[in-house]
Structure 1
Amino acid sequence: MAPDAAARPGVQDIPSGPDVADVFAGGSENGRLMAAVDWAATPVGPVATWPASLRYAIRTVLASRFPMILTWGPEFTQFYNDGYATLIGAKHPAALGGDLRVTQAEHWTSLQGPIEQAMATRVPTWIPQLLLLLERAGYREETYFTVSHAPAFGDDGEVAGMHAVCTEVTRQVLAERRQVLLQEVAGAGGRREDEHDLATQVCAALATGPLDVPFAAVYLTDDDGRLQRAATCGVDAGLLPATAGGLPDLAAVPVAGLGVTGGPFGEPVTDAVTLPLSGGSGGEPVGALLVGVSPARALDAEYRSFHQLLAGQVAGAVVDARAYAGERARAEALAELDRAKTTFFANVSHELRTPLTLLLAPISDALDEAGDQLPPAAHDQLVLALRNGQRLQRLVNDLLEFVSIEAGRTAAVRVATDLAADTAELAGVLRAAAERAGLTLTVDCPPLPRPVAVDPRMWEKVVLNLVANAVKYTFVGGITVRLAAVDDGVELTVSDTGVGIPAEELPALFDRFHRVTDSPARSREGTGLGLALVRELVDLHGGTVGVRSTPGAGSTFTVRLPWGEPDAASAPPSTPAAVRAAALTPWDDDPGRRARPAAAEETLGTVLVVDDNADMRSYLTRLLAPSWTVRTAADGEEALRATRAALPDIVLTDVMMPGLDGFGLLQALRADPGTRDVPVVMLTARAGQEAAVEGFDAGVDDYLPKPFESAELLGRLRAVLERARGRRAALPPPPAHAHRPAPAAAPPPPRPRAGDAADLAPSSAPAPAVPADGARRATWRFPSAAASIPPLRRRLRGFLADAGIDEDRAYDLVLASCEAATNAIEHAQDPREPVVEVRVSVDDGAVEIAVHDTGQWRERTSSMDRGRGSMLMSAFAEVTAVPGPDGTTVTIRSPRPRD
């Protein structure tokens, strides 16, 4: 009150505070509306009579941007701002000046307690996520508010009303609730293989969220693409169609007639959405989802997004269920196939034993009874048949034993064994084969402190397989077999200095039928069961087997067995040692049975027999010797060298061989003009039309599958020879100097485009100088392109000719150098410079050629390999390849020829 108020009569009766004209000032829409209200007709009376506290409170409400409401007096007369007007929707502006209990009658039961508590206790109340029913968009809407009620004080300090602040949290509440429902659906999917059970579980999860999903139905596609009802929730399944042709059929379902209610206020559900269940990545739909729409929420963008997420969850679960069911079906089919295969192998192996017995027994009896009375040729034939029959018997026995182990029908019969003596004897079985291969076999098996309980026949297979494998894959050095006692048993190690095993092959090395691809070996023969059988036999003894290997340095196989307890007093007899050795080393050339060429009354020509099986070479030699001069080679590289040294009339080669196989040999022969016209006949164990077509496509003259009739082979060789001689007779006579193979004709370089000439030409270099020490040297740099090979060939040929190198030797060195340069062009990855540098020197007849690229070595696939370049290079000279961070250098050294 102003100091002079008492001097003016009646001034003390006029309420202080904002002037009447300023109470509703501030520019708000609700302020203008309240200024127009006839407040005299309300319980609070004319504005001029309002206390200052009410005027200030109204100004505070109108100035706030938060939804705020003020009630005054016992009649709860309302004042509110623009934010609150938006919340109550259609009730505005009639609610201005009205009784809160009337305008919010439907919510008064929820609001009365907190409001009266705040006014009575003068302590504010807090209500989070209060559900309120509002009609602000033409329908009864489900909304949520966080509300705080506080007392409003009059001028006398007493509670005169209520002051409330509201915040709508409807979007947050709905988002959290829908997220929980999506998680429930995801958890219901799980890992189920029955998609109908999955649909039932999904609907059970959807039933926990009726405010967002009043009802739902899951339809799944059948084999004909039609939709079949799988599960429902919130609705009588009989009211929905059992089948549907597609989404339009489901969209036509009369939702209003289903009798479903929804939302927090229990109103009829009249709308639904139909969602496809997509198979993902453009796949065929796996079903459809029919979902009811809450009558208390508008189908806005957020509601539609929730439906899309829901459909994605269900579709993903159905796809996973079908994939899981498919995998299980495939696994069961594979298991059934495996069982059928196991049964088949067991039956076949048993059936093979009878004819094998009737083959081997008469042959063995004939050899024993006839003795020296047999002619040498007949004796050799019978020995050959017996040895290979025994080899087949071993393969059959291994297969049968492996199948029996897999079927669980085989158990180890352990007996107390002097394992050191037995192991030494078994390793010694292969000593002769190792020595004939140029290897040393070291056996270190000192006596053990106690006998070991093992099945002798199984231990024999373990030792012989490991040692035979070592001989097969070792070309230089030796093999060491050690047996020693360890803490809880014995440990056998078989170490070699062989080719080693790549690291990526080690995990699958003991798997059945697994074979290391492209690994050098003495033979390609084998079933891939040897190491798998070793693991199974060791497992039957409660032991372990492992391997350590470094490519190029060798491998070490380690077998550990417990001491064990005997199961029997003695073991059945085993196979004679000689039989076991012959069965394990089909590539071995025994000097006692080396093939000897026979004198022929009619010599048709020279045939080069190429096969990695020594017995096959021996047999073919005896078969062909009466009419042919026979030469032999154990693999493709040896055959290639023999062919270039002296051309045969026919090459008769096997297909599957270690190193350079039959197709590689054929390719190399056809690529060299000097050997291009040599007829090639292939023998192979790959029968069938496709195999023959592959051979003829590769350029073979004839193709004969094994086993073959000897008369047919002789007839085909004669026909091939006659065709080849007929072709040569039709050609003009060769020039006088054609006594050696001519250099390979280079393909014409591509025609350079404008501006390319400088790039394709080799860098200029001075003429080779002759230093004081008499050596000749030159260095050339060529672009890393195929067109650089012809100029390299010309320069190198001229340089070697000037240096006085023999023409034949120069030809071989040029061919090897061009192969090295071609490899540098094709293998160099990400070169620092796109060039190939060639350095050549000739010193006292010794030639050294170094080919260097600036990239990292990159292996090619076998289909890209044009001519087995490294094998061609090594056929003519000593070749070393040194990769490094600056590139790879291939050095070709040809020593000075001996006088």
Structure 2
Amino acid sequence: MAPDPVASGGVRGVAAGPGTEDVFAGGSENGRLMAAFDWATTPVGPVESWPASLRYAVRTVLASRFPMILTWGPEYTQFYNDAYATLIGAKHPGAIGDDLRITLAEGWAALQEPVERAMATREASWIPQLLLLLERAGYREETYFTVSHAPAFGDDGEVAGMHAVCTEVTRQVVAERRQRLLHEVATAAGRREDERDLAVRVCGALGADPLDVPFAAVYLGDGEGRLHRVATAGVGAAALPAAVGAAAELGAVDVAGLHVPGGPFGDEVERAVALPLSGGAGRETVGALLVGVSPNRALDEEYRTFHQLLAAQVAGAVTDARAYAAERARAEALAELDRAKTTFFSDVSHELRTPLTLLLAPIADALADSGGELPEPVRERLTLALRNGQRLKRLVDDLLEFVSIEAGRTAAVRVATDLAACTGELAGVLRAAAERAGLTLDVDCPPLPRPAAVDPRMWEKVVLNLVANAVKYTFVGGITVSLRAEGDEVVLRVADTGVGIPAAELPALFERFHRVTGSPARSREGTGLGLAMVRELVALHGGTVEVESEPGAGSTFTVRLPFGEPDTDTPPPASAAAVRAAALTPWDDDLRRPAPSPDPLGTVLVVDDNADMRAYLARLLSPSWTVRTAADGEAALRDVARVRPDVVLSDVMMPGLDGFGLLRALRADPATRAVPVVMLTARAGQEAAVEGFDAGVDDYLPKPFESAELLGRLRAVLERSRGRREPAPPAAPSPSAPAVPAPAPPRPRAADAVPAAPAAPTPAHLPGATTTTWRFPSSAAAIPPLRRRLRALLTDAGLDEDRVHDLVLAACEAATNAVEHAQDPREPYVDVRVAVDGGAVEIAVRDHGQWKERTSSMDRGRGSMLMSAFADVTAVPGPEGTTVTIRSPRPAG
């Protein structure tokens, strides 16, 4: 029987509204389904009996493209459109004509109150992001809808049903929630060096979102291929493996057996994902992340992407933590090394002061007590020693003071000072050095309105270092020193017209030991502490130092100090600024030339940027040589171009063109290629000597050296260059140079006695051959340069590669024996003479000592065998040395 039209919301006897055939018109899929549906089986009865209000409402719902649903009558009979059908998934089309409370039984607890309230109050509701439990895809799904419920009125104006408009926002809600979690994980990780603490904090952040991550565990690698559990969230740590070999092993965890609730409805988690924590491209895995999967969300592509982002976030944090910890450990190691270095410098500086005092005081006393009794050459030598001893003392004092400042043990003792007068006096100390350099020094220090509180000794170092630096790097023009009061500050400016400083070097200019690479200067003398000390001393006064510079135009250093208040009325003792001036400008050449030798061995060009060293070498060599001097490599090349010297004696470290650059320039020019070069250097050690011989130097002498040794080496180099076989007679000593004693012959030892025999390495079988001679120091460092020179010589002579290799091997073996066996050599050298006549080669290797066999444990026992395999070998021992001759005849044919 058909329902009563009044009970159905209609009006008795009225059949208004759309016709039966028009109610479901419009072409929608749901319209066709509803048109075919037997509505007589539902509480609303057949379509023919529907009131106009229901017909209009149904037609409106079907025509909309927005998800809409209509319930009618107390049984909540459903009508909905195509858009709504997609929201309820598998419940469609069974939900058509069914009771809403049955269709959405799992979510009715959330819907009942807003639906009934809208119908009872006739007021529409608006609920954004309403959580609903749906079972539309075969599982209990977490969904979110933004929905509005409104009353549906019948023909009589009374509420006959409910009209809802809704849209699903599940993806947006879940995406925002996951984004917030990723942010929380990043924030919790922060910048930490303790990776275990980081893992705990990450798990704490993950535990705050059980909807997407019901449980989690972080495993970290131990560097030996094992991953250890370090933190968990949402699950007891004991329920998970303590260690695994790889992230994939975590996939075997019985997740269901953990009984962990998850999602908004408390369902048990049944799945988990094991994610490796990669340290980046090409790096090893740093750990693994095990995360539970929500039982109310499908593990779709979006969920997997979230897991990947989460793993990348944690991996990045762990990698950063390890890098930060490594950097901190490195910084601590460097700091410890710096502290050890500071302590070392401090201790060494203290230890150097005692012998310096015992050197300087007697020299000063001797000069003061002698009056005019000392011969002038002796007085000059003592004055030179005193001046350079004072320079060494200044370097030691600067180093010690800088170390004290860095260690925080130095404080400025300020006294009221007439800073204008003090600054003018200090700058004037360097006036003579500036004028000898061809520069003008303008000191502009008018009286200040009041005394300034400074430590006078520190201010002295500031002014002298800045002005000396200006003189050192200025070649044309002048230097201006000005002092002004600007407000509550005293401003010192030292400006020059020098070489300037590149912009890239300015940030590091005041760092200790920093030098501007390639900048021309009058000297390379100095420790690299001057400007660093200026900055530290100015900072101790509460001031600042700045620099403005333009390459080629000059530099301006600006020091700003507060006038300040004095700490005491007692000034510290003044230092001898004039003495410091000589120490600050070691390149300043204000020395008299020694008288030339009446019968010189030859001409020697002395190249050194230190004026005192040039003067000393000139005085030492002038009794035997004609001496010319140059302050750097460029000046030396100009001198050589005018008149070629017989020998060049050069320092290695010089401004502009250094010693090796000078050597390369001389060897590159055919006119000067044969000029012998002897190097003097402060770089001692075997590696430095090897570097010198590799560069093609004829001899190499580290500083400090004995004057007799230098004179002997220069004579030997000259003899070899002229092809002499007998040594030149020693020159008579002059009053200005000490006599060079002849070396005493070695005392004979019975155990080492050998028959006398000729020992000179003179080829006897190739009288018409081209001969080349070399001398090397009697040390293992001589073998590599011998190998290179001999290979080049034999290759240039046209010998085939195999023969060159064999002869070089034999000669180096002979030279190695000469170094290792010769005892107490009269001269610490090994002489090598090579004669080449067409394809015939003869190599003679001679030492200057008496042979002493090594023990069998030291001997390789293959020297003679190696040499004899390649050529005819003879060894002639003698009391003054042994000569090994290697003869290789011209190949037959």
Could you say which TM-score interval applies, normalised by the shorter chain?
0.7 to 0.9
Residues in 1 aligned to 2:449 and 2:103: alpha-carbon distance in whole angstroms:
103
**Residue 479 to residue 138, structure 1, CA distance change in 2 (3 Å):** same
- 1:637 is the counterpart of 2:637: no
- 1:274 is the counterpart of 2:292: no
2:494 — aligned with what?
494
- 1:697 is the counterpart of 2:694: yes
Specify the SS of the correspondent of 1:373: coil
Residues in 2 aligned to 1:218 and 1:271: alpha-carbon distance in whole angstroms:
17
**Residue 24 to residue 512, structure 1, CA distance change in 2 (3 Å):** same
Tell me the CA shift for residue 489 of structure 1. 4.7
- 1:60 is the counterpart of 2:60: yes
Tell me the CA shift for residue 706 of structure 1. 1.8
Residues in 2 aligned to 1:378 and 1:12: alpha-carbon distance in whole angstroms:
144
- 1:289 is the counterpart of 2:289: yes
Specify the SS of the correspondent of 2:368: helix
Question: Mean Cα displacement is larger for which, 216-225 or 341-350?
Answer: 216-225
The two structures have a TM-score, normalised by structure 1, of: 0.76
2:247 — aligned with what?
247
2:842 — aligned with what?
none
1:859 — aligned with what?
none
Tell me the CA shift for residue 709 of structure 1. 2.5
1:669 — aligned with what?
666
Amino acid at match of 2:146: T
Tell me the CA shift for residue 353 of structure 1. 0.4
Amino acid at match of 1:542: G
Question: Mean Cα displacement is larger for which, 199-208 or 712-721?
Answer: 712-721
Specify the SS of the correspondent of 2:78: strand
Specify the SS of the correspondent of 2:136: coil
- 1:482 is the counterpart of 2:445: no
2:265 — aligned with what?
265
Question: Mean Cα displacement is larger for which, 49-58 or 492-501?
Answer: 49-58
Q: Deviations over 1:430-479 (max 9, x none)?
A: 22222221222233334444443332222222222122112111212222
**Residue 60 to residue 422, structure 1, CA distance change in 2 (3 Å):** closer
Amino acid at match of 2:478: G
1:595 — aligned with what?
593
Residues in 2 aligned to 1:17 and 1:487: alpha-carbon distance in whole angstroms:
96
Specify the SS of the correspondent of 2:285: coil
Question: Mean Cα displacement is larger for which, 206-215 or 133-142?
Answer: 133-142
- 1:685 is the counterpart of 2:682: yes
- Mapping of 1:592-671 within 5 angstroms? 593-599=591-597, 601=599, 603-671=600-668
Gaps of 5+ in 2: 1-10, 726-767, 772-893
Tell me the CA shift for residue 677 of structure 1. 1.9
**Residue 456 to residue 117, structure 1, CA distance change in 2 (3 Å):** closer
Residues in 1 aligned to 2:186 and 2:676: alpha-carbon distance in whole angstroms:
69
2:795 — aligned with what?
none
Amino acid at match of 2:651: D
Gaps of 5+ in 1: 1-10, 733-899
1:405 — aligned with what?
405
**Residue 537 to residue 115, structure 1, CA distance change in 2 (3 Å):** closer
Work out whether residues 598 and 622 of structure 1, in 8 Å CA contact, stay in contact via their aligned partners in 2. Answer: no
1:722 — aligned with what?
719
Q: Deviations over 1:156-215 (max 9, x none)?
A: 443322222231111111111111211211221222222222222211111121111101
Residues in 1 aligned to 2:49 and 2:444: alpha-carbon distance in whole angstroms:
120
**Residue 233 to residue 722, structure 1, CA distance change in 2 (3 Å):** same
**Residue 152 to residue 581, structure 1, CA distance change in 2 (3 Å):** closer
- 1:427 is the counterpart of 2:427: yes
1:582 — aligned with what?
582
Residues in 1 aligned to 2:222 and 2:214: alpha-carbon distance in whole angstroms:
27
Q: Deviations over 1:737-792 (max 9, x none)?
A: xxxxxxxxxxxxxxxxxxxxxxxxxxxxxxxxxxxxxxxxxxxxxxxxxxxxxxxx
Work out whether residues 502 and 550 of structure 1, in 8 Å CA contact, stay in contact via their aligned partners in 2. Answer: yes
Amino acid at match of 1:465: N
2:781 — aligned with what?
none
Tell me the CA shift for residue 401 of structure 1. 0.8
Specify the SS of the correspondent of 2:96: coil
Work out whether residues 28 and 82 of structure 2, in 8 Å CA contact, stay in contact via their aligned partners in 1. Answer: yes
Work out whether residues 597 and 621 of structure 1, in 8 Å CA contact, stay in contact via their aligned partners in 2. Answer: no
**Residue 335 to residue 154, structure 1, CA distance change in 2 (3 Å):** same
Residues in 1 aligned to 2:59 and 2:336: alpha-carbon distance in whole angstroms:
85
2:520 — aligned with what?
520
Amino acid at match of 1:689: Q
Q: Deviations over 1:354-410 (max 9, x none)?
A: 111111122222223334333333332222222111110000001111111111211
1:365 — aligned with what?
365
2:189 — aligned with what?
189
- 1:84 is the counterpart of 2:81: no
Work out whether residues 597 and 629 of structure 1, in 8 Å CA contact, stay in contact via their aligned partners in 2. Answer: no
**Residue 112 to residue 622, structure 1, CA distance change in 2 (3 Å):** same
Residues in 2 aligned to 1:313 and 1:727: alpha-carbon distance in whole angstroms:
79
RMSD: 2.6
Residues in 2 aligned to 1:325 and 1:187: alpha-carbon distance in whole angstroms:
18
Q: Deviations over 1:795-816 (max 9, x none)?
A: xxxxxxxxxxxxxxxxxxxxxx
Tell me the CA shift for residue 330 of structure 1. 2.3
Q: Deviations over 1:115-159 (max 9, x none)?
A: 223333333322222222222222111111222223333344433
Specify the SS of the correspondent of 2:148: strand
2:145 — aligned with what?
145
Specify the SS of the correspondent of 1:372: coil
Work out whether residues 106 and 134 of structure 2, in 8 Å CA contact, stay in contact via their aligned partners in 1. Answer: no
Residues in 1 aligned to 2:172 and 2:543: alpha-carbon distance in whole angstroms:
63
Work out whether residues 106 and 135 of structure 2, in 8 Å CA contact, stay in contact via their aligned partners in 1. Answer: no
1:112 — aligned with what?
112
Residues in 2 aligned to 1:156 and 1:415: alpha-carbon distance in whole angstroms:
106
Amino acid at match of 1:580: R
Residues in 2 aligned to 1:64 and 1:451: alpha-carbon distance in whole angstroms:
92
Amino acid at match of 1:607: V
Specify the SS of the correspondent of 2:645: coil
Q: Deviations over 1:29-62 (max 9, x none)?
A: 4344434443333222233333333334333333
**Residue 445 to residue 469, structure 1, CA distance change in 2 (3 Å):** same
Question: Mean Cα displacement is larger for which, 157-166 or 200-209?
Answer: 157-166
Work out whether residues 635 and 659 of structure 1, in 8 Å CA contact, stay in contact via their aligned partners in 2. Answer: yes
Residues in 2 aligned to 1:52 and 1:407: alpha-carbon distance in whole angstroms:
97
**Residue 498 to residue 38, structure 1, CA distance change in 2 (3 Å):** closer
Work out whether residues 207 and 234 of structure 1, in 8 Å CA contact, stay in contact via their aligned partners in 2. Answer: yes
- 1:311 is the counterpart of 2:311: yes
Amino acid at match of 1:520: P
Give the number of aligned pairs: 719
Tell me the CA shift for residue 236 of structure 1. 0.7
Question: Mean Cα displacement is larger for which, 240-249 or 542-551?
Answer: 542-551
**Residue 165 to residue 618, structure 1, CA distance change in 2 (3 Å):** same
Residues in 2 aligned to 1:674 and 1:350: alpha-carbon distance in whole angstroms:
51
Residues in 2 aligned to 1:66 and 1:443: alpha-carbon distance in whole angstroms:
90
Specify the SS of the correspondent of 2:723: helix
Work out whether residues 150 and 164 of structure 2, in 8 Å CA contact, stay in contact via their aligned partners in 1. Answer: yes
Specify the SS of the correspondent of 2:482: strand
Tell me the CA shift for residue 552 of structure 1. 2.1
Work out whether residues 184 and 205 of structure 2, in 8 Å CA contact, stay in contact via their aligned partners in 1. Answer: yes
1:235 — aligned with what?
235
2:45 — aligned with what?
45
Specify the SS of the correspondent of 1:573: coil
2:165 — aligned with what?
165
Tell me the CA shift for residue 244 of structure 1. 1.8
**Residue 67 to residue 382, structure 1, CA distance change in 2 (3 Å):** same
Identity of aligned residues (%): 80
Residues in 2 aligned to 1:356 and 1:66: alpha-carbon distance in whole angstroms:
98
1:298 — aligned with what?
298
Tell me the CA shift for residue 336 of structure 1. 1.8
**Residue 123 to residue 487, structure 1, CA distance change in 2 (3 Å):** closer
Residues in 2 aligned to 1:148 and 1:77: alpha-carbon distance in whole angstroms:
18
Work out whether residues 659 and 679 of structure 2, in 8 Å CA contact, stay in contact via their aligned partners in 1. Answer: yes
Residues in 2 aligned to 1:143 and 1:334: alpha-carbon distance in whole angstroms:
57
Specify the SS of the correspondent of 1:494: strand
1:351 — aligned with what?
351
Question: Mean Cα displacement is larger for which, 120-129 or 342-351?
Answer: 120-129
